[in-house]
Amino acid sequence: MPELPEVETTRRGVAPYLQDHSVQALVVRQPRLRWPVPPELAGLIEGQPVRAVSRRGKYLLIDFDAGTVLVHLGMSGSLRLVPGEQLPGKHDHVDFLLDSGLALRLTDPRRFGAVLWQEAGTEHALLASLGPEPLSEAFDAPLLQQACKGRRSAIKLRIMDSKVVVGVGNIYANEALFAAGIDPQRAAGRISAPRLARLVAEIKQVLERAIAQGGTTLRDFVGGDGKPGYFKQELCVYGRGGDSCVCCGTVLKEIRLGQRSTVFCPRCQR
């Protein structure tokens, strides 16, 4: 599933080609995505210039004067810039045709993605409950300490809760907990303030490194330029259950936690 670094990589790749360009036409070949594409969307954005391209959690936000298009990539979706006349493939469901002759194309084999609308001056319900961005100053040690206080749930589940901090998905939660030396199963409320402060720092560093590498390509993800992400080569634990720890050589343990694959070093993480 594309996570925050993959969405940020996509944003950086497509933003220069969208901003200040007009959407000449919206082509919806398959409106039945995770939620239906609003039937009125074409009338709201056709002929209108894109004012900005931003990101909130795993949502790409394309701003117009009248409001904002929210795009979510779902489980295996991608956004790519292609020549407007390029014939669509089987899973190419939505095109934003630009005045430059390019098209921003949503490809979504599983159709778990979304293209939604948020009117200017409002906040979509999907964004309203999201916590702070992990790379912002709002996400700091005191905030995480307060979120973990008295909590018996596993720390990994706590940092993956989008109401606590948005966009820390499974891959990067595994990697940040390894870097911080914290057992992902440990009760959040039983971790000291200094260790939580280190975890905040490691979450930021892991995400920043992943963005610099263009994200992590495990199967389907490509960025806005069609190229894969290369952070997979730097993964220390995720996807490496049964392999040797890169730090101490201990066999990495793989378990299921919150229905997600969780890999950790039983010696380095406590």
**Annotation: binding site:** 91, 110, 151
> Half-sphere exposure of 27 toward its Cβ, with a 13 Å CA cutoff?
19
* Catalytic position from the list 3, 6, 8, 202: 3
* Catalytic hit among 11, 55, 56, 58: 58
Binding residues for DNA: 91, 110, 151
Query: Which is catalytic among the residues 34, 111, 204, 260?
Result: 260
Rounded to the nearest 10 degrees, the angle between the axes of helix 141-148 and helix 193-212 is 120
State yes or no: is 260 an active-site residue: yes
259, 265 Cβ separation under 8 angstroms: no
Catalytic residue among 2, 5, 134, 184: 2
Is 149 part of the annotated catalytic residue set? no
The closest alpha carbon to 248, from 265, 270, 234, belongs to 265
Q: Can 3 be counted among the known catalytic residues?
A: yes
Q: What gap in Å lies between CA 124 and CA 41, rounded to an integer?
A: 15
Type of residue numbered 256: R
Give residue 200's identity as a one-letter amino acid code: V
Catalytic-residue membership of 186? no
Which is it for the CA torsion 125, 164, 265, 180, positive or negative?
A: positive
What stretch of H or E contains 143?
helix 141-148
Q: Where are the beta strands (DSSP E) in the chain?
A: 23-28, 52-56, 59-63, 67-72, 78-83, 92-98, 102-107, 114-119, 253-257, 260-264
Cβ-in-10-Å burial (0-12, 13-18, 19+) of 169 comes to buried
Answer for the pair 239, 152: CB distance below 8 angstroms, yes or no.
no
Residues designated catalytic: 2-3, 58, 260
